[in-house]
């Protein structure tokens, strides 16, 4: 069988970085070809060459018998390639319907004049939205959707074009288990229709569940291509990272022992007037990491937004070491010792026109500032210290603190965001999907770092949609359903089934 696409000897250099070095890669009809590698290995760059966003420095691309030295975005679409980018590219100001058809409006002729066929658009949109599991009307503004729904919208966008080759660059970073299952069902249908799928993900379990072949990249070079069933998860990790990864990161003490430690942080009866969280209470003890599990929209992020002052709470109190905090905006939260790494990397995570150094310095500056954030001086030597410490601690792959954050790979951008909260040295850190897009080796380093923070008296709260992560790091796991905290489980003994059961049960 002929491949749908063949990329041969692709090299790409950016100033100061050789992102890809002579990579060959092909996609067969009816297969899922998984592409793995550490953050900055070159996965997204290779796929952006396929979608025409980047031009290769050398190499060629063969599609449908046509040979190209480079593709434009237009040719790429014409050759039947659709891509779901790692960074959300949906437009908040447009409706779902408009987003799905940006740049590809269906036309019909009216009295010989081409006009937009709105009926066709709506019918197609409805069926695709149903396929991916978006229940909102196509007229809903994308800006009103939650991050995971935006991600589904992004996937729907690729499906609308009826492409033969679909590239999914980390499509599941914000999706929970049931949504991932649905997406995988959809991918199987596309496979059966003869589509070729490229699948990039740092969620290791998914790779074997969905992949037919696996190609590994390391630092821009080709490691190999293997049938998925010929490799164990450990084999894949070793090929990617070059070492074995530890399984669990619990405290030395058990959860029962930890809850006897002093309470360092408490949220009491947190309630929002929009009903997204109701009467949520929890305590965090010295030395423990408390996790938050639940489906999308279960109220985890919504509770933390209220705790942090990003959204007003209609009732509830927050205590730090027994003292009630007065938080009505994030600035007040930061000043009183809280930090919150948010889920929406593009919207709230980092400033696009800032270097790594400037981004890392943002939160520590706010923490040090006076007069409501108006007072305080820029101090270059401090900035350099904060930045270099975090770049080293988190092993950020960049050309230096002066590199623009936006030019880093997705996982390395996430590390910069993590770095600014670590640099601020807050007493309590709320992490919403902290390891989103981060490779397995770096994840392990981050868990070790979080554990060290907890051991040094910092409070660590972690929301995650990856249950395996919660079950290997958190001493206790709070499970949410329908805006309420339903149960708190012991992280060492809880199971995925138990979490799923509580987060989906109706009572």
Between 415 and 481, name the residue whose CB sits nearer to ligand ATP. Answer: 415
Between 203 and 476, name the residue whose CB sits nearer to Mg ion. Answer: 203
Interacting partner of 5 out of ligand ATP, Mg ion, none (Cβ under 5 to 8 A depending on kind):
none
Between 48 and 335, name the residue whose CB sits nearer to ligand ATP. Answer: 48
Minimal distance, residue 493 CB to Mg ion, in Å: 35
Strands 315-320, 263-271: pairing is: antiparallel
Residue 44 touching Mg ion (CB under 5 A): yes
Interacting partner of 40 out of Mg ion, ligand ATP, none (Cβ under 5 to 8 A depending on kind):
ligand ATP
- Applying CB under 5 A, among 59, 294, 410, 491 the residue interacting with Mg ion is 410
Distance between CA atoms of 441 and 423, rounded to whole angstroms? 22
Minimal distance, residue 42 CB to Mg ion, in Å: 9
Residue 172 touching Mg ion (CB under 5 A): no
Minimal distance, residue 70 CB to ligand ATP, in Å: 16
Residue closest to 247 by CA, chosen among 468, 70, 424: 468
> Tokens 């994030």 map to which residue?
330
Distance between CA atoms of 341 and 193, rounded to whole angstroms? 41
Q: What are phi and psi of 336, to 5 degrees?
A: -90, 10
Between 47 and 478, name the residue whose CB sits nearer to ligand ATP. Answer: 47
Between 178 and 395, name the residue whose CB sits nearer to Mg ion. Answer: 395
Interacting partner of 393 out of Mg ion, ligand ATP, none (Cβ under 5 to 8 A depending on kind):
none
> Tokens 């953050």 map to which residue?
39
Our CA dihedral for 120, 121, 126, 127, rounded to 10 degrees, sits at 60
Minimal distance, residue 272 CB to ligand ATP, in Å: 34
Interacting partner of 408 out of ligand ATP, Mg ion, none (Cβ under 5 to 8 A depending on kind):
ligand ATP
Interacting partner of 151 out of ligand ATP, Mg ion, none (Cβ under 5 to 8 A depending on kind):
none
Strands 17-27, 81-84: pairing is: unpaired
Binding residue count for Mg ion, defined by CB under 5 A? 4
Between 23 and 338, name the residue whose CB sits nearer to Mg ion. Answer: 23
Window contacting Mg ion (CB under 5 A); options: 80-88, 90-98, 138-146, 491-499 = 80-88
Q: What are phi and psi of 311, to 5 degrees?
A: -135, 140
Minimal distance, residue 168 CB to Mg ion, in Å: 12
Interface residues with ligand ATP (CB under 6 A) are 14, 17, 19, 37, 39-45, 86, 397, 407-412, 437, 439
Residue 163's CB: how many other CB atoms inside 10 A?
19
Distance between CA atoms of 414 and 144, rounded to whole angstroms? 23
- Segments in 314-434 forming alpha helices (H): 330-335, 356-368, 380-393, 410-424
Chain residue at closest Cβ approach to Mg ion? 44
Between 19 and 82, name the residue whose CB sits nearer to ligand ATP. Answer: 19
Chain residue at closest Cβ approach to ligand ATP? 411
CB 327 within 8 A of CB 309: yes
Residue 217's CB: how many other CB atoms inside 10 A?
25
Interacting partner of 327 out of Mg ion, ligand ATP, none (Cβ under 5 to 8 A depending on kind):
none
Residue 442 touching Mg ion (CB under 5 A): no
Residue 47's CB: how many other CB atoms inside 10 A?
24
**DSSP assigned state of 1:** -
Between 200 and 391, name the residue whose CB sits nearer to Mg ion. Answer: 200
Minimal distance, residue 294 CB to ligand ATP, in Å: 26
Minimal distance, residue 187 CB to ligand ATP, in Å: 20
Between 138 and 211, name the residue whose CB sits nearer to ligand ATP. Answer: 211
Count helices and strands (H / E) in the chain: 17, 22
Between 45 and 177, name the residue whose CB sits nearer to ligand ATP. Answer: 45
Minimal distance, residue 244 CB to ligand ATP, in Å: 20
Minimal distance, residue 355 CB to ligand ATP, in Å: 13
Minimal distance, residue 158 CB to ligand ATP, in Å: 18
Interacting partner of 485 out of Mg ion, ligand ATP, none (Cβ under 5 to 8 A depending on kind):
none
Distance between CA atoms of 462 and 429, rounded to whole angstroms? 8
Tell me if residue 463 falls in helix, strand or coil.
strand
CB 499 within 8 A of CB 293: yes
Minimal distance, residue 410 CB to Mg ion, in Å: 4
Distance between CA atoms of 10 and 495, rounded to whole angstroms? 44
- For residue 429, CA distances in Å to 331, 441, 473, 489, 494 come to 14, 22, 15, 21, 24
Residue closest to 200 by CA, chosen among 163, 172, 237: 172
Which residues in this chain contact Mg ion in the complex, by CB under 5 A?
44, 86, 409-410
């Amino acid at each position: 069988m002929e491949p749908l696409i063949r990329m041969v000897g692709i090299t790409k250099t950016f100033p100061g970085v050789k992102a890809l070095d002579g990579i060959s890669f092909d996609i067969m009809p009816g297969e899922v070809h998984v592409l793995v590698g550490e953050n900055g290995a070159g996965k997204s760059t290779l796929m952006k060459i396929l979608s025409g966003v980047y031009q290769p420095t050398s190499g060629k691309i063969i599609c449908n018998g046509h040979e190209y030295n480079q593709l434009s975005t237009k040719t790429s679409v014409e050759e039947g390639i659709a891509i779901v980018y790692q960074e959300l590219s949906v437009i908040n100001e447009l409706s779902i319907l408009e987003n799905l058809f940006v740049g590809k409006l269906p036309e019909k002729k009216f009295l010989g004049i081409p006009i937009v066929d709105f009926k066709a658009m709506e019918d197609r949109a409805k069926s695709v939205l149903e396929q991916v599991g978006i229940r909102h009307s196509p007229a809903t503004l994308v800006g009103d959707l939650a991050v995971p729904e935006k991600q589904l919208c992004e996937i729907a966008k690729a499906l609308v074009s009826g492409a033969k080759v679909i590239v999914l660059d980390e499509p599941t970073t914000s999706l929970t288990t049931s949504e991932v299952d649905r997406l995988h069902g959809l991918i199987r249908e596309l496979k059966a229709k003869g589509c070729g799928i490229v699948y990039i993900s740092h969620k290791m379990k998914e790779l074997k569940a969905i992949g037919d072949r696996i190609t590994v990249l390391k630092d821009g070079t080709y490691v190999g291509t293997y049938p998925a069933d010929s490799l164990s998860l450990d084999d894949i990790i070793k090929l990617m990272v070059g070492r074995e990864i530890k399984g669990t990161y619990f405290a030395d003490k058990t959860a029962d022992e930890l809850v006897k430690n002093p309470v360092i942080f408490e949220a009491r009866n947190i309630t929002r007037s929009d009903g997204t969280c109701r009467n949520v209470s929890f305590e965090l003890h010295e030395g423990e990491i408390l996790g938050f599990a639940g489906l999308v929209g279960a109220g985890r992020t919504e509770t933390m937004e209220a705790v942090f002052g990003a959204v007003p709470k209609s009732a509830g109190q927050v205590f730090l070491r027994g003292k009630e905090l007065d938080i009505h905006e994030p600035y007040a939260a930061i000043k009183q010792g809280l930090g919150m790494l948010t889920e929406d990397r593009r919207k709230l995570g980092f400033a696009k026109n800032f270097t790594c150094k400037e981004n890392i310095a943002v939160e520590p500056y706010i923490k040090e500032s006076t007069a409501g954030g108006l007072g305080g001086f820029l101090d270059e030597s401090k900035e350099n210290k904060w930045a270099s410490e975090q770049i080293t601690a988190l092993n950020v792959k960049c050309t230096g603190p002066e590199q623009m954050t936006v030019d880093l790979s997705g996982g390395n951008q996430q590390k910069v965001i993590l770095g600014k909260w670590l640099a601020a040295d807050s007493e309590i850190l709320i992490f919403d999907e902290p390891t989103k897009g981060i490779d397995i080796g770096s994840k392990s380093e981050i868990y070790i770092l979080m554990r060290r923070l907890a051991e040094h008296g910092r409070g660590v709260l972690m929301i995650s949609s990856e249950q395996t992560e919660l079950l290997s790091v958190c001493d206790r796991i709070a499970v949410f359903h329908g805006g309420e905290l339903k149960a708190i489980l012991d992280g060492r003994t809880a199971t995925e089934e138990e979490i799923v059961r509580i987060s989906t049960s109706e009572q």
